[in-house]
């Protein structure tokens, strides 16, 4: 069994847990990504929403730490690391691999700690009970694997423009794809909180069916949004994503305060 012992503060990058933050938004990055992709979100969201980007090992300030390849071990360690911060209302936002991580983390917290987020934003990822629409590539030789990553448009193109950086990131990319491609969904009761699924029209692996099937995973309110852009609409159409996130959480806060 894979085991990791990591200090808790390394999991969170520039988290905004101020007194004004009435709900904490934990954000989970995509395969090959890092928590820095959410660094500017706090500037564009109300102060009542505290943005907490989650940093997985093997990248950025955690570059020297080994990556996870076993999702169940990652979720266990992640839950333990975040638990001290879940003493106020919180929500999850994940993009691509980050959606899978946040979904399984929500189920783990329900099972082991009787905790739940106020909302889950599932961005750029098919409903987990459906087969992965892409072909598995994590096991291929380096060049074939990287070519597969490139053609899937699942990693920012800038990474492929610098061979030195690409070589450094190769183990992280392979580990992240291993996490996603070896995932096996286990059926559980639907979640008891609201869920918003977001997709991009030009994402090569996108279909409306993949997005709408997320409805099977909640007993509460469910919404879908289809934006322009490819897999990385989270960057190209960031303002629209933030409008969805901000309005959804502000509606929750209004209800929590008994407004409206």
Q: Please, are residues 59 and 156 in contact by the beta-carbon 8 Å criterion?
A: no
Question: Taken in order 175, 177, 180, 184, is the CA torsion positive or negative?
Answer: negative
Active site residue 7: no
Q: Closest Cα partner for 101 from 51, 33, 154, 50?
A: 33
**96, 123, 207, 236: which one is catalytic?**
96
**Phi–psi pair at 57, nearest 5 degrees:** -65, 160
| Cα→Cα distances 96→23, 27, 61, 69, 127, Å | 23, 12, 21, 16, 11
Q: Give the integer Cα–Cα distance in Å for 244 and 103.
A: 19
Angle at 39 between CA 19 and CA 97, to 5 degrees: 110
Token pair belonging to 70: 């076993």
Catalytic (active-site) positions:
96
């Amino acid at each position: 069994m894979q085991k990791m012992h990591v200090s808790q503060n390394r999991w969170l990058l520039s988290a905004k847990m101020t007194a004004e933050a009435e709900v904490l938004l934990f954000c989970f990055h995509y395969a090959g990504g890092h928590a820095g992709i959410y660094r500017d979100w706090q500037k564009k969201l109300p102060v009542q929403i505290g943005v907490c980007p989650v940093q997985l090992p093997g990248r950025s300030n955690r570059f020297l730490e080994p990556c996870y390849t076993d999702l169940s071990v990652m979720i266990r360690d992640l839950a333990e690391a975040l638990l001290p911060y879940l003493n106020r209302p919180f929500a999850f936002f994940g993009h691509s691999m980050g959606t899978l991580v946040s979904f399984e983390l929500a189920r783990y917290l329900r099972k082991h700690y009787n905790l739940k987020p106020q909302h889950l934003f599932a961005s750029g990822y098919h409903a987990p009970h459906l087969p992965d629409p892409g072909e598995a590539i994590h096991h291929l030789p380096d060049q074939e694997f990287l070519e597969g990553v490139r053609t899937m448009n699942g990693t920012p193109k800038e990474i492929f423009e610098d061979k030195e950086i690409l070589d450094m990131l190769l183990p992280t990319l392979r580990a992240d794809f291993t996490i996603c491609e070896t995932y096996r969904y286990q059926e559980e009761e639907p979640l008891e909180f609201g869920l918003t699924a977001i997709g991009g029209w030009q994402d090569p692996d996108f279909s409306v069916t993949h997005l709408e099937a997320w409805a099977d995973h909640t007993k509460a309110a469910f919404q879908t949004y289809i934006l322009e852009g490819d897999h990385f609409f989270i960057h190209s159409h960031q303002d629209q994503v933030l409008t969805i996130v901000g309005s959804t959480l502000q509606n929750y806060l209004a209800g929590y305060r008994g407004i409206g």
